């Protein structure tokens, strides 16, 4: 029998913690709820299980919400010992929660709460395997509290400034500021900053708080590197931080002949750590929200750093919400699509069919919502309340835009793949037909064979070309190799086409370049762009970076002096790029049943690194111009070098001379 | 400008209090959540208003949940003073609540929260006029607390019994038991009883609690007339009750030549009071839940006792829930139908078009759910998770049953009427066509012209006849007068057809009899059935009554020794029957714009009584065999007597000699 764990209705843990998370944003002294609609856990949940006991057994259902415990049709109280005779039993725990997350825990000899239970919301057809997480494994643990760990950090430096004392914690951080040894009479003003400038600018700093009345304080968890504490009384005896984090293990590493790359890689890894919390956040300071487009990129990096399926699943469930579907994810149409695409990619990396089965009705619900918002020609267009984002970039949005349609094509195919996995063959056929129809329309309306480009929009006559649609076409295999090679020439390496300016889309661009064999282009960009931030002292990767900007220019964004997040998850892209295209590790069938290692030095003289594999495994690659060595603890690998393939035996090094 | 009130998203107050209410059931020492699915308030709500201020004004948004206050696009904190200059403004308050009910309060010179605001859940198309209730009129009042009042009651008698001391509060009651002057060491066992037998039977009493550790207690509000307190220490110094109630005003009265009728009427009124709480409950002791079929009858009695639109609206909203519609109301198909029918009847009595407009999308959602569950012939049949109830009675349920189809016909017509009111003419036409199609099918399949009856079921060949379908056919005007008269003879007054045994359906039967001119049959039943309980000492009307039963037989039900509720809302039927058919008051157009007074003595020598009218009005009728006097404070009335009509002038008595 497995270890007892708290159980809840599938997905409701994520909705509950998403609500908590999204209620924490603050800005210039006011609270800042999101502008999209959020969902709650089901308040009424019935947990069910059939089992057999060899002997009479005492069973106690632990529940913090109102509930009864029904054994073979007879009701008993919860939080009390109930004797159950030996034999076959059907047990039901019916709960109601006015607030919070209905969840229960049983740990008896023959009956424990674990993932073999099902739960329903008292409607027919809602029965699903329960949600659970092994960290909640005792009657005292509480699924309404997220299992963060804490570590005390002291400032590396403190400086007297006109605003008070400026504490520097040495690197970007997220945690609880503790202030001790002050007078209850004193008014303390605490200003948080990712930069020292921000921490001493009470007018423009995004996060600040004034407290009084106590002799010590533990403030709400927030992001900072610098904190300035000003007091109208005596100075605090001590200011420390409880660093708040989720203990995700780095299972990867990367070094190469260029020293800066290790710094970049480590900083990317730290940036991902800070943003890997209840869910993948976009950034830890300003909005602290969960955005599907950012999360999609984090899913990719996750597989090359932690390979933690839990955080990807939690993020998918938080973003996916539950019926009714009346809005796109984060209100953004492309983000709904990326969520469906990312969910299939999660499956492809992990082989987690059970997750797809439980999610499928919701994915379909989200898809149908989008599908009900196409124009007469079947294109996704802007309908009331939708945000057609793609990127912060000038684009001809005078009609349905090409990048959105290509993404929709990919989304339909991903949903078809998902439908196939869960045995919904009829659905799969429909989605695939819809994808094929859309592909034909896109090629007819947006593709310019003579120029070898996709235009943004086909209805305005402007024939404007941006990189976005063309990058998606290459990245998602919308065009076959010959046309992809043409696009590489006509758009992706054509400097007259306006460059991508956001790190978000730069990641897609670099993926498409790597996919097209242009690893060196990605390596150059990593060094100039990511390396540029590092050389300016960044301890985590920023939301945006323009090498030509002044220092204050790096800090400002969205019209706010310190609006730019200096710790943004999408900066973690090199983790994926270097693991996927430099070390060259990728699955060639579902769940890494088979996988390839296809390393490539590109600009580097030698590379050495480890990439995680499912189930705690890993593969280590070491390569220079003379030879390549691979060691993996998982079966099914094949080393691909210069058109040749070498089987990678489990647990034994394979070395190939070059 | 109107008085400032707390505001919330339409219907969410009701969902929140419904969740609280439905989490309070307990039985034999365990908690007892409902077996249906419940809904929560939206956690993210934006409140909006455009207004004009003559001068600069300080505005403070009071919110107990996280929120910001946006004025003309600029965000400010809540719970803080914000100066707004003179001029035209658009204000938005965007809130998020991890639990509870998002709601806000503003009371400034030019801006107050009232029913002119709208709220949305951050999705397009969700904007509705806000919900509000004038009792929440100060910044300190809290819409998460229901505004009950309390009154101290002392027992009229206390008796030493082997279980402790039995306190008799003299009549059925709902409230907080306070026990004072006990030792913290003592274990106190408190047993609640609607009968003395129950209060001294710790094994079988439904509600009981054991407490220890304090010298005084205030227990959770519960129903009782008797309370037995047993202690292993000294006796309590005092046991009292805080009677918990909603201050609804009795606006009606009824007396007649038979003394017992006044007792019956008063007891019915008290029974309704006790069950009129957050919503109309079915009964106050056992399940304390809100059931649509019971509530439908309470709506009818409400209009003849309190004429309080608020409790009817609250009950409709709590039962109606919100999308997605995946289940019938209380899981019962006929209860979904009665909710739609009752909602139109609420409108007909009050003229409250605004309420219909806000409800309409939900009513349609509920209807579409039912409509998706018909068989190939278009009949409502039993589908997984549905409960085809109609009544606790033997009926041929071998196929779709007639009573359910007739109710569905009525439901379709009611929804068509609602659609017409809200301007959805196309919907109305569709629903009406669907009703007409159904009517033709029912007449073809269930009507037996030769026998003059509707049979229960047309697929089993049993040709069984019960009263239920026939009563609905008469009551809801499914058959025209000639056939209704036939049914009266062939079914309703035919003693070979099995009698109705539940008070629930007895009410429909009496309504149908009165409608068919058989007031005396109703009067006889009121005296024998309701009078029978009174003569046994009932202080409130019971869930069921069989005059032939022993005393203990009155108490038991559902296989439990004290399972019968001795205070059941559906017992309030005589309030409606006597007001509607004896005093004869009823609207003849929407909102009592016109109304009739058509009194009838039936068995009584004289009658005298008052019936409430909308907007606090009332009409008083006094009649004996010689003359009839009517006084009304509302225009539009007409007195109908012996085929003649007399205008009822506002505020002036009209007397007609007979």
Identity of the residue in B40, B43, B75 whose CB atom sits nearest the CB atom of A43:
B40
Helix (H, G, I), strand (E, B), or coil: what is residue B492?
helix
Is B266 in contact with B309 (CB distance < 8 Å)? no
Distance from CA of B82 to the nearest CA of A (A): 12
Mean pLDDT computed over A367-385: 95
DSSP conformation class of B480: -
Is it the case that residue A422 has pLDDT exceeding 90?
A: yes
Distance from CA of B422 to the nearest CA of A (A): 23
User: Mutate which of B19, B23, B101 to test chain A, going by most A C-beta atoms within 10 A?
Assistant: B23
Task: Give chain A positions within 8 Å (CB) of B94.
Answer: 33, 35
Identity of the residue in A36, A68, A324 whose CB atom sits nearest the CB atom of B30:
A68
Q: A residues 308-337 near B, CB within 8 Å?
A: 323-324, 326-327
Identity of the residue in A20, A37, A126 whose CB atom sits nearest the CB atom of B44:
A37
Distance from CA of A296 to the nearest CA of B (A): 24
Q: What is the pLDDT of residue B2?
A: 85
Task: Give chain B positions within 8 Å (CB) of A42.
Answer: 37
Task: Name the strand (E) or helix (H) holding B14.
Answer: helix B12-22
Q: Which residue has the tokens 């569905």?
A: B408
Query: What's the mean per-residue pLDDT of chain A?
Result: 97
The answer to whether residue B67 neighbours chain A at the CB level (below 8 Å) is: yes
Distance from CA of B68 to the nearest CA of A (A): 6
Q: Which residue has the tokens 């809840």?
A: A8
Is A122–B44 a contact, with Cβ atoms under 8 angstroms apart? no
The answer to whether residue A94 neighbours chain B at the CB level (below 8 Å) is: yes
The answer to whether residue A125 neighbours chain B at the CB level (below 8 Å) is: yes
Q: What is the pLDDT of residue B64?
A: 98
Is A40–B40 a contact, with Cβ atoms under 8 angstroms apart? yes
Q: What is the pLDDT of residue A295?
A: 98
Identity of the residue in B39, B68, B95 whose CB atom sits nearest the CB atom of A30:
B68
Q: B residues 454-473 near A, CB within 8 Å?
A: none
Q: What is the pLDDT of residues A309-321, one digit of tens each?
A: 999 999 999 999 9
Q: A residues 535-554 near B, CB within 8 Å?
A: none
Interface size A-B, in CB pairs within 8 Å, comes to 139
Is A19–B121 a contact, with Cβ atoms under 8 angstroms apart? no
User: Mutate which of B37, B104, B120, B384 to test chain A, going by most A C-beta atoms within 10 A?
Assistant: B37
Is B96–A29 a contact, with Cβ atoms under 8 angstroms apart? no
Alpha carbon distances (Å) from A284 to A220, A228, A245, A531, A565: 13, 19, 12, 21, 8
Kindly report the CA angle at A258 between A525 and A605, in degrees rounded to 5?
100
Query: What's the mean per-residue pLDDT of chain B?
Result: 97
Task: Give chain A positions within 8 Å (CB) of B77.
Answer: 29-31
Q: B residues 22-41 near A, CB within 8 Å?
A: 22-23, 27-40
Is it the case that residue A486 has pLDDT exceeding 90?
A: yes
Q: What's the rounded Cα separation, in Å, for the pair A359 and A234?
A: 56
Is A36–B43 a contact, with Cβ atoms under 8 angstroms apart? no
Is A68–B33 a contact, with Cβ atoms under 8 angstroms apart? yes
Task: Name the strand (E) or helix (H) holding A19.
Answer: helix A12-22
Distance from CA of A31 to the nearest CA of B (A): 5
Q: What is the pLDDT of residue B117?
A: 98
Is it the case that residue A1 has pLDDT exceeding 80?
A: no
Identity of the residue in B35, B97, B123 whose CB atom sits nearest the CB atom of A326:
B123
The interface predicted TM-score of the complex, written ipTM, equals 0.96
Residues 6+ apart with CB under 8 A from A290: A18, A21, A22, A278, A279, A280, A281, A282, A315, A318, A319
Task: Give chain B positions within 8 Å (CB) of A35.
Answer: 94, 122
The answer to whether residue A127 neighbours chain B at the CB level (below 8 Å) is: no
Is A33–B100 a contact, with Cβ atoms under 8 angstroms apart? no
Task: Give chain A positions within 8 Å (CB) of B39.
Answer: 43
Neighbouring CB atoms inside 10 A of A656's CB total: 15
Is A172 in contact with A194 (CB distance < 8 Å)? yes
Is A123–B95 a contact, with Cβ atoms under 8 angstroms apart? no
Alpha carbon distances (Å) from B592 to A207, A558, B105, B204: 58, 58, 34, 49
pLDDT band for A2, please (50, 70, 90 cuts): confident
Q: What's the rounded Cα separation, in Å, for the pair A252 and B372?
A: 53
Tell whether omega for the bond before A324 is within 30 degrees of 0, i.e. cis. yes
Q: What is the pLDDT of residue B166?
A: 98
The answer to whether residue B364 neighbours chain A at the CB level (below 8 Å) is: no
Task: Give chain B positions within 8 Å (CB) of A71.
Answer: none
Q: What's the rounded Cα separation, in Å, for the pair B288 and B281?
A: 6
Q: What's the rounded Cα separation, in Å, for the pair A195 and A203?
A: 14
Q: What is the pLDDT of residue A569?
A: 96
pLDDT band for B647, please (50, 70, 90 cuts): very high
Task: Give chain A positions within 8 Å (CB) of B126.
Answer: 37, 326
Please tell me which residue of chain A has the smallest CA distance to B75.
Answer: A30
The tokens describing B324, both together, are: 């997605």
The answer to whether residue A372 neighbours chain B at the CB level (below 8 Å) is: no
Distance of alpha carbon B349 from the chain centroid: 15
Is it the case that residue B1 has pLDDT exceeding 90?
A: no
Q: What's the rounded Cα separation, in Å, for the pair A479 and A482?
A: 8
The answer to whether residue B79 neighbours chain A at the CB level (below 8 Å) is: no
pTM above 0.80, yes or no: yes
Q: What is the pLDDT of residues A214-237, one digit of tens each?
A: 999 999 999 999 999 999 989 999
DSSP letters of B541-573? Answer: --S---TTS-HHHHH-BTTBTT-S-SSBGGGGH
Is it the case that residue B242 has pLDDT exceeding 90?
A: yes
Is it the case that residue B343 has pLDDT exceeding 80?
A: yes
Neighbouring CB atoms inside 10 A of B309's CB total: 17
pLDDT band for B284, please (50, 70, 90 cuts): very high
Q: What is the pLDDT of residue B172?
A: 98
Is B327–A384 a contact, with Cβ atoms under 8 angstroms apart? no
Q: What is the pLDDT of residue A433?
A: 98
DSSP conformation class of A229: E
Mean pLDDT computed over B291-296: 98
Is A125–B326 a contact, with Cβ atoms under 8 angstroms apart? yes
Q: What's the rounded Cα separation, in Å, for the pair B386 and A386?
A: 37
Mean pLDDT computed over B649-655: 97
Is A33–B66 a contact, with Cβ atoms under 8 angstroms apart? yes
Within A144-223, residue ranges assigned H as helices are: 196-199
The answer to whether residue B17 neighbours chain A at the CB level (below 8 Å) is: no
> Above pLDDT 70, what percent of chain A?
100
Task: Give chain A positions within 8 Å (CB) of B100.
Answer: 99
Is it the case that residue B613 has pLDDT exceeding 80?
A: yes
Q: What is the pLDDT of residue A231?
A: 95
């Amino acid at each position: 029998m497995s270890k007892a764990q708290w159980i809840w209705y599938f997905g409701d843990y994520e909705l509950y913690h998403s609500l908590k998370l999204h209620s924490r944003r603050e800005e210039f002294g006011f609270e800042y709820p999101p502008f999209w609609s959020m969902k709650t856990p089901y308040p009424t949940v019935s947990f069910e299980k059939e089992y057999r006991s060899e002997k009479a057994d005492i069973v106690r259902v632990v529940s913090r919400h109102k509930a009864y415990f029904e054994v073979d049709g007879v009701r008993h109280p919860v939080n009390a010992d109930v004797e159950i005779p030996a034999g076959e039993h059907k047990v039901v725990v019916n709960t109601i929660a006015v607030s919070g997350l209905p969840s229960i825990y049983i740990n008896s000899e023959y009956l424990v709460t674990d993932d073999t239970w099902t739960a329903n919301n008292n409607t027919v057809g809602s029965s699903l395997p329960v949600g659970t997480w092994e960290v909640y494994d005792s009657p005292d643990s509480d699924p309404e509290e997220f299992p963060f760990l804490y570590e005390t950090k002291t400032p590396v430096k403190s400086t007297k400034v006109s605003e008070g004392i400026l504490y520097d914690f040495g690197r970007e951080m997220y945690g609880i500021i503790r202030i001790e040894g002050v007078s209850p009479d004193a008014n303390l003003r605490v200003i948080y900053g990712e930069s020292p400038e921000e921490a001493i600018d009470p007018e423009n700093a995004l996060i600040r708080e004034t407290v009084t009345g106590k002799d010590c304080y533990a403030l709400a968890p927030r992001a900072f590197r610098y904190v300035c504490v000003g007091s109208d009384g005596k100075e605090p005896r001590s200011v420390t931080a409880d660093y708040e984090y989720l203990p995700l293990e780095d299972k990867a590493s990367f070094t190469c002949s260029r020293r800066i790359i290790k710094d970049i890689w480590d900083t990317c890894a730290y940036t991902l750590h800070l943003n890997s919390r209840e869910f993948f956040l976009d950034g830890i300071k300003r909005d602290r929200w969960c955005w599907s487009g950012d999360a999609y990129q984090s899913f990719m990096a996750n597989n090359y750093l932690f390979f933690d399926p839990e955080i990807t699943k939690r993020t998918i469930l938080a973003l996916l919400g539950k019926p009714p579907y009346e809005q796109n994810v984060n209100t953004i149409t492309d983000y709904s699509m990326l969520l469906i695409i990312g969910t299939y990619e999660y499956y492809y990396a992990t082989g987690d069919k059970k997750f797809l089965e439980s999610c499928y009705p919701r994915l379909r619900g989200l898809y149908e919502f989008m599908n009900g918002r196409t124009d007469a020609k079947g294109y996704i267009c802007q309908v009331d309340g939708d945000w057609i984002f793609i990127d912060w970039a000038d684009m001809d949005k005078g009609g349905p835009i090409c990048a959105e349609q290509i993404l929709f094509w990919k989304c339909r195919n991903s949903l078809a793949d998902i439908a196939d996995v869960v045995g919904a063959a009829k659905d799969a056929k429909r989605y695939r037909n819809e994808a094929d129809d859309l592909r034909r329309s896109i090629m007819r309306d947006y593709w310019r064979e003579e120029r070898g480009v996709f235009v943004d929009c086909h209805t305005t006559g402007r024939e404007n070309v941006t990189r976005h649609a063309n990058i998606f076409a290459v990245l998602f295999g919308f065009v076959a190799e010959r046309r992809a090679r043409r696009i590489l020439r006509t758009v992706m390496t054509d400097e007259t086409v306006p460059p991508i300016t956001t790190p978000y889309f730069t990641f897609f661009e670099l993926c498409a370049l790597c996919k097209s064999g242009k690893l060196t282009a990605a390596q150059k960009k990593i060094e100039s762009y990511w390396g540029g931030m590092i050389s300016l002292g960044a301890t985590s990767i920023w939301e945006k970076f323009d090498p030509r900007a002044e220092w204050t220019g790096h800090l400002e964004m969205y019209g706010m002096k310190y609006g730019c997040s200096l710790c943004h998850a999408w900066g973690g892209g090199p983790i994926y790029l270097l693991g996927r295209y430099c070390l060259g590790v990728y699955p060639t069938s579902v769940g890494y049943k088979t996988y390839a290692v296809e390393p490539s030095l590109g600009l580097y003289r030698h590379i050495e690194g480890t990439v995680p594999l499912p189930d705690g495994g890993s593969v280590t690659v070491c390569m220079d111009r003379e030879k390549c060595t691979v060691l993996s603890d998982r079966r099914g690998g094949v080393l691909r070098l210069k058109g040749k393939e070498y089987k990678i035996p489990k647990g034994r090094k394979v070395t190939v001379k070059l």
